Amino acid sequence: MLHSPEAAKALFGMVGRLLGKALLDNQMVTATLNRPLLKHLLALPIAFSDLEQYDASLHKNLSWILNCGEGEVDALCQTFTATVEDVGGVASVDLIPGGSEIDVTDENKVGDCRKTDLRSAGKIE
């Protein structure tokens, strides 16, 4: 592990202060923000399609589940959870409320995959 969670939090705080100081001094900062983070900062709703920019693998897997044939989803024995790698280690998080206890089926795959929330998946806090 490169940094502890406390050190990572301190680094993010330092970057925030640096950007804040640049804005106060009317300095141009050329920082590119990805769409989900920008929408989060602007308090706009984050859509399922925004997941592709933040976690292409998760988006690809959920898209496959949405488009697969009938009965194929049941054979996977999956729940609505994802493995998230963070500075503090690896954890399993629910993609929807109670996702670890909900099996993915043909009946619930469309509604629940579309409800996948980046905040609950630990991607944006």
Single pTM value for the model: 0.56
Residues found in the chain? 125
Which two structure tokens, joined as six digits, stand for 81?
A: 């959870």
Which two structure tokens, joined as six digits, stand for 72?
A: 């194929």
Domain ranges of the chain: 32-114
Q: What does DSSP assign to residue 79?
A: B
CATH number for the segment(s) 32-114: 3.30.2160.10
Going by C-alpha positions, the residue among 43, 46, 49 that lies closest to residue 63 is 49
Rg (CA), the chain: 18
Q: Is the pLDDT of residue 88 over 70?
A: no
pLDDT at 56: 84
